[in-house]
Structure 1
């Protein structure tokens, strides 16, 4: 009997051990096999943290040459568009016991009235934005107030160190955080910082490993613009305003062998850091690329180039100017009704004689003249890397009369942009090939760089 009870106790203990082992084994199977991914994720969550980050917007830089003995020598780069620290401050109304006292204290620091602050807080949102674009100095003063219910968030602000320099060419970062006009608009997808997730190690792992950080910053743009030449061009326009009271003006400096733009100046310009204060929104347009005009006498060299290239005239070819030329009931006169008598084609250009341009155009057929207008790029956009370029197809010449072609020979009755004109002149200067004008010569992102190569047409003349 004693042996039976003794064996029973041993067997019972063995049974308990077997049951416990089975429970532990099943639990291990459940943890390691069934819920492996769940517990792995929980463990990873304790070791690694994730946060949403947005990269900085890319910078825009230009060369800043040094002038010496009338020549411009390469210098260092100058920043035209960059980012500076800025903050947004918000108030959580439910956390503020005395809103009036809160608003009074804050108003002394941020430059807004108590009433304006209270009005911002009087809404349905839990967090009310009180002020954007808060500077570092302002934020330090705000922190000293130690106000409960006040929060701040870093929100970098676009900053243009050179103020109004190249304002229409650059464009600006709008209130919605997207590029508007100019380069800022055209290269929005390249300049903008990307949103992503940043992985951060925690605990001891953080001491022995680098945080996994993917570069999310936008790319930097290096311009063909030379800031020194750009400044000189804008200064010349301002002097013309003082001297001749011009309403507007443009200066384009372009290398005819490549299309690199060294200056693209407009008058009037505006302060890029204060663009929201401008009441006339037309000032944001780049007149060099976004406004059409009748080129007038600056078109005469193209008429001469067409006739010369077709071997219909030479520089010494002469005609007799009588001061006018008629087409039915319509008559074309020279400026100020001048009469020049016998003139060479060279003298026609020197004296800017309207009837001489008409004579040259009459030496080629209408279709030939129109073909050259197409080849010079005067019926399409140049493709310059700026937002909002316009062009005219100059359809008036497609089914034109003799009178239409006559007036077109000296730049009337057709429409062009200044950038089309300067692009066309490149062919006359470089031996016959029209260049595509461009403003960005290099795009850089971290260690990666992409250089923009010049683009030239097939020979036109």
Structure 2
């Protein structure tokens, strides 16, 4: 063998070896890829194949609704759809193409129908969505792949379009569902209901209020419609398609009563306008025995339909001024801070010093432990000193002198309650503070309930005990305070407050029912009865307080606390009032808290009590509680102005006299042609009705005066001199020292007819009641 032959053989061997090695590597690679596709990443490729073979259309589940106790809708959802076209797909698969479908007739025969796909798309979308055909053709001619045809399309219309798409195999038209949340009552109970949005985890859902707390129940399960697609991506026309129905979320039926909620918010708004609180106000109406919440409000509030709007005018003005001054990042931070404050439920998330409202806790514990009796006396000369620290009474007139327990509560005397706290002792005080639920959250079914800040027994000094006894030192939430107060007057039972009564699935089945929960009995029924009687005396003593309502036996206590942790000078205040009805067997309890009133008044009895009075005046008759008047109250009841228009003058005069109403006749006629005020108005006995007896009479007009700060007698005299009638409002209107806080039904300076009824609120500006 020659050298050249040996070389050729070696080269062939090497070549064969390289080829064999390459084939072996290729085989290994293919085997590995088959392993990857079939085993390791099988789910990924199965999903990819699935997406190529099938088309899935999501049917969005509706979020469950939220109702009040009477079935009024507070929040509801409905699915709307966006219809779009894909011009690129249209040009590839539909433009200039036809589709032939076979339909079976009634006699069993079959007929073929040919459809022009382009005309079919234009005609169907135009007729279904009430859009001009030219607009549809314009969108189909665009270069972009996604063109919106219509938004917020109703479900029935969307589903009919989906069926049409499936029948003709149309893939250039698409539909995406969107669930739209709607709050038909707008801002009513907004801070209780909450709203939806994107949370910190990036997920969309409830982020405040009931929407957040019960999000898992409210959220439904989306459905799907699956249709097969051919190799080109077009839908295969066949009768059977997979359909998975959406399962709507469960609905909440709450204890909220929209009527009560409305009156609470209306009264709270009035208080805000009058007192301009720096840090908002809140109110709670609760069943004193069960803990069911009938109303809960924070003012200013917001409209959950548009939660990003800033509704507090002062805050909105500040943000408007900062928009061009701050960086985009800093401005967004300030706006987020404003949103957080606006959406927060003050009744459960804000801590405050309860002030003298807390005296019912100290007092009931002391009575229960026999640390004091109703006959014990307490002397007040205006101040008392503990370890060198003076504790002053609110009165500036030398103190209350000698007083018993009921009088000390009625006078809201701080030195007296310092003494009561000392006689109870730090250990028992701390035990009852805990027993009344003030060291723990109440467990209300709402998110973001705050935890109280308090001095535990181990750190309680004589000075701390003294200030704690009348509601300073310890910061609690309004919901804690009303629950503790309810325990004082309902027989001693500490209840868990709750908003939702039951949860109902989409088929109407009750899947969860909530019942009243009594945590413990804190005081005895005997002590509770003593406290009920004492707190009714607080309201009725000396002819009434600012929360007194004729014909109703109400118990209550005011509170005025200083925000010493924020302002050591002590000139920033929180005004509050807690009242219950009926006094002898409480069913309804209400707490009002106004945080830092700015317009001069700050005592709880002057700022918060009128809110309670206004609400109780409306809701007690609504709830079926009717006034039962004493003989004295009957004598002072208002009368309803009768209809005497068209009556003979003598008859009209006799009718008015029988109701103890005065009258003034204008004209020379013998028949009444007009009266002022008109029939149906309420006014006190002794007021005057103007009787016009001539058709061409000249009406008498006068200007409404400013009577702010006037006593009842002085205001009556001023208005009478102008021919106007005074209708005093407020339980303390006839009490010595009551002053007018302003006219409520007309603007000062406006012009009204002579004889018009002027309504004005009178109140006592002190800490009693």
TM-score, structure 2 as length reference: 0.44
Distance (whole Å) between structure 2 residues aligned to residue 131 and residue 407 of structure 1: 68
The question of whether the paired residues in 2 share the 8 Å contact of 1:62 and 1:227 is answered with yes
Q: 1: distance between equivalents of 2:243 and 2:514?
A: 32
Equivalent position of 2:384 in the other structure: 325
Please name the residue that 2:764 is paired with: none
SS at match of 2:366: helix
Gaps in structure 1 of 5+ consecutive residues: 1-48, 64-75, 98-108, 111-120
What is the Cα-based RMSD across aligned positions, in Å? 3.4
The correspondence of residues 36-435 of structure 1 with structure 2, limited to 5 A, is 53-63=59-69, 76-88=70-82, 92=86, 94=88, 134=152, 151-175=174-198, 176-195=203-222, 216-247=247-278, 248-278=280-310, 279=335, 280-281=338-339, 282-338=341-397, 339-395=399-455, 397-435=457-495
Q: 1:52 to 1:94 in 2, by over 3 A?
A: closer
Q: Per-residue displacement from partner, 1:44-89 (whole Å, max 9, x unpaired)? A: xxxxx986544211000003xxxxxxxxxxxx42100001343346
Deviation sequence 1:198-226 (CA, Å, 0-9, x none): 799x98889xxxx9866621111000000
The answer to whether the 8 Å contact 2:222/2:246 transfers is no
Q: Give the deviation of 1:95 after TM superposition.
A: 5.7
Inter-CA distance 133–412: structure 2 relative to 1 (3 Å threshold):
farther
Whole-Å separation in 1 of the counterparts to 2:475 and 2:179: 43
Q: Contact conserved, 1:172 with 1:181, CA < 8 A, in 2? A: yes
Measured after TM superposition, the shift of residue 91 of structure 1 is 6.7
Higher helix share: 1
Question: What displacement does 1:457 show?
Answer: 1.7
| Matched residue, 2:737 | none
Distance 2:149 2:450 in 1: 38
Q: Deviations over 1:351-379 (max 9, x none)?
A: 11111111111112211110100011111
Corresponding residue for residue 444 of structure 1: 504
Distance 1:372 1:91, change over 3 A: farther
Against the structure 1 CA distance between its residues 91 and 349, is the aligned structure 2 distance closer, same or farther, given a 3 Å change threshold? farther
Taking structure 1 as reference, are residues 336 and 322 closer, same or farther at Cα in structure 2, changes over 3 Å only?
closer
Please list the CA deviations of residues 8-49 of structure 1 after superposition, one character each: whole Å capped at 9, or x if unmatched.
xxxxxxxxxxxxxxxxxxxxxxxxxxxxxxxxxxxxxxxxx9
Q: Distance in 1 between matches of 2:225 and 2:372?
A: 70
Kindly tell me: are residues 292 and 89 of structure 1, through their superposed partners in 2, closer, same or farther at Cα, counting changes over 3 Å?
farther
Secondary structure (helix, strand or coil) at the match of 2:520 reads coil
* Distance verdict in 2 for CA 1:55–1:135, change over 3 Å: closer
Q: Which residue of 2 aligns with 1:34?
A: none
CA contact (8 A) 1:407 1:413 kept: yes
CA distance in structure 1 between the aligned counterparts of 2:265 and 2:214, rounded to whole angstroms: 24
Contact persistence 2:219–2:248 (CA under 8 A): yes
Question: Contact 2:62–2:78 (CA<8 Å) still a contact in 1?
Answer: no
CA distance in 1, matches of 2:143, 2:226: 38
Please report the TM-score for the alignment, with normalisation by the length of structure 1.
0.72
Deviations 1:168-187 (A, max 9, x none): 00000115530011100000
- Structure 1 pair 135/162, CA: closer, same or farther in 2 (3 Å)? farther
What corresponds to 2:624 in structure 1? none
Rate the CA distance shift 1:134–1:411 in 2: closer, same or farther, 3 A. Answer: same
- Rounded Cα–Cα distance in structure 2 between residues aligned with 1:224 and 1:131: 43
| Secondary structure of 2:352's aligned partner | coil
Give, in whole Å, the separation in 1 of the partners of 2:218 and 2:370.
Answer: 49
Deviations 1:378-408, CA, capped at 9 Å, x for gaps: 1110000001111125145541110001000
CA distance change for structure 1 residues 399 and 91 in 2, over 3 Å: closer, same or farther?
farther
Q: Distance in 2 between matches of 1:286 and 1:87?
A: 33
Decide whether the 8 Å contact of 2:444 with 2:499 is kept in 1: yes
Q: Does structure 1 conserve the Cα–Cα contact (< 8 Å) formed by 2:453 and 2:476?
A: no
Alpha-carbon spacing, 1:89–1:294, altered in 2? closer, same or farther (3 Å): farther
Q: Distance in 2 between matches of 1:93 and 1:397?
A: 75
Return the alpha-carbon distance in structure 2 between the equivalents of residues 385 and 344 of structure 1.
41
- 5+ residue gaps in structure 2? 1-54, 92-129, 132-141, 162-170, 228-236, 311-334, 524-769
